[in-house]
Amino acid sequence: MRVTALPAALALVAAALAGGAAPAAADTAGPVLTAPLEAGNGFHHNTGTVIYERVDGAVNSVRIISVRIVSGERDCAWVSWNDPHNPNGWTNLTSEPSCWGTGLEEFPDVIIKAPAGHPLKVRLAADHGDPEVMHKDIEKL
């Protein structure tokens, strides 16, 4: 009897494990998406990538999976999103900028939300110490 009970027990454990994984999969919908960003040229060429997915059942919400920045050799660059609750309009998605030709990759795993009608956007912004010289690229999510 023990031999025949083992497959039934394994099936029960497999069903429990599959059931436990379902809620995590239910909070996102659709494929993982990419927003490529590029600003400036030459020594001031900055690139960024935001990997994200839409949140299932939520209006105007996405989960930010990762953010990657490679700054220009003479710049500092950062990626932010157009946060309607921030007084200056933008909130950074990384903990620090990427500076002087280095790269930075972070995995914030954060959900950003905006009211219906407020298009979600990400922005790569870079400067090289002169606040009047700034390079920007904005992509809609």
The 10s digit of each residue's pLDDT in 2-59 is 444 444 444 444 444 344 333 334 455 668 999 999 999 999 999 999 999 999 888 8
Assigned domain for 18 exists: no
pTM for this prediction: 0.76
What size, in residues, is the chain? Answer: 141
Assigned domain for 6 exists: no
For residue 120, what are the domain limits? 27-140
Assigned domain for 32 exists: yes
Assigned domain for 102 exists: yes
Assigned domain for 104 exists: yes
Count of domains forming the chain: 1
Assigned domain for 31 exists: yes
| Band of residue 72 on the pLDDT scale cut at 50, 70, 90 | very high
Assigned domain for 10 exists: no
Task: Answer whether 28's CB lies under 8 Å from 54's CB.
Answer: yes
Question: In the prediction, which pLDDT does 26 show?
Answer: 41
The secondary structure of 75-139 as a DSSP string is -EEEEEE--TTSTTS-EESSSS-EETT-EEEE---EEEE--TTS--EEEEEEESS-TT-EEEEEE
Assigned domain for 1 exists: no
| Distance, first Cα to last Cα, the chain | 57
